[in-house]
Amino acid sequence: MNMHPPDLPGTLARQAGMQALEQAARTAADAKKALAVLTLDVDHFKPWHDEVGEAQSAAALARLVEVLKQALPAGTPVVHLGSDEFFVMLAGHELASAQALAEQVRAAIAQGLASFDASPPLSVTVGVAASPAQGAWSGQALLALADMRMTFAKRRLVPHHNLVWAGTLPSDWYARLDIDPARWPAL
């Protein structure tokens, strides 16, 4: 079953987004500037999609992108990974400012999707990661950490939806990422 339209206006597709992320990571590292990534997953989307169908689901994703574009700084790339998963790159944002923006985005999306008749209501869970202050790092590692934080929030934090997480993870979760948690900022 197709879980998203082939082209979601206002977003980069996965491959273009990954290329843009690696370029943004190189640019940030070379300039010794921060880069943050937010990963977003729409809560309760798959069962709702099965209930309402493609047209309504596509409308909800289009509305989500519209709200994201309004809530983020102008020109912020929004990448559609597929289905109901997205990420955004925030050049110049340290972890604390990225988390604060993620909370604003989360609240705006919950309000923006409230018009869709979904029970439970559609919302997003957001994972936040920012580049380490020193040493080599990649955009892929940054995205993986943000995604793992989002997954942790959905699986381990109550109420398992409508959350933002930029905190630490259990040590075995870091092992899956093959990164040194001491180098990466956490709140």
- In this predicted structure, which of 3-12, 26-35, 84-93, 165-174 has the lowest mean pLDDT? 3-12
Kindly state whether residue 170 falls inside one of the protein's structural domains.
yes
DSSP 9: T
Q: Which of the four pLDDT bands, split at 50, 70 and 90, describes residue 180?
A: confident
81-117 confidence digits (pLDDT tens): 999 999 999 999 999 999 999 999 999 999 999 999 8
Number of domains in the chain: 1
Residues 6 or more apart whose CB falls under 8 angstroms from that of 31 comprise: none
Kindly state whether residue 6 falls inside one of the protein's structural domains.
no
CATH number reported for the structural domain that contains residue 36 in this entry: 3.30.70.270
Helix 14-31 to helix 139-156 angle, to the nearest 10 degrees? 110
Closest CA to 65 of 126, 127, 119, 112: 112
Answer whether residue 23 shows pLDDT above 80: yes
Q: What is the pTM of this model?
A: 0.94
Kindly state whether residue 155 falls inside one of the protein's structural domains.
yes
- The position carrying tokens 């493609």 is 54
Q: Are 95 and 186 in contact (CB under 8 A)?
A: yes
120: tokens are: 């439970």
Domain, as residue range, for 124: 12-177
What local confidence, expressed as pLDDT, does residue 44 receive?
A: 94
Kindly state whether residue 56 falls inside one of the protein's structural domains.
yes
Kindly state whether residue 4 falls inside one of the protein's structural domains.
no
What local confidence, expressed as pLDDT, does residue 1 receive?
A: 37
What local confidence, expressed as pLDDT, does residue 5 receive?
A: 44
Residues 6 or more apart whose CB falls under 8 angstroms from that of 58 comprise: 4, 5
State how far the Cα of 5 lies from the Cα of 22, in Å rounded to an integer.
Answer: 25
Q: Which of the four pLDDT bands, split at 50, 70 and 90, describes residue 3?
A: very low
Kindly state whether residue 182 falls inside one of the protein's structural domains.
no
pLDDT > 90 fraction of the chain, expressed in percent and rounded: 87
Q: Are 86 and 68 in contact (CB under 8 A)?
A: yes
Kindly state whether residue 60 falls inside one of the protein's structural domains.
yes
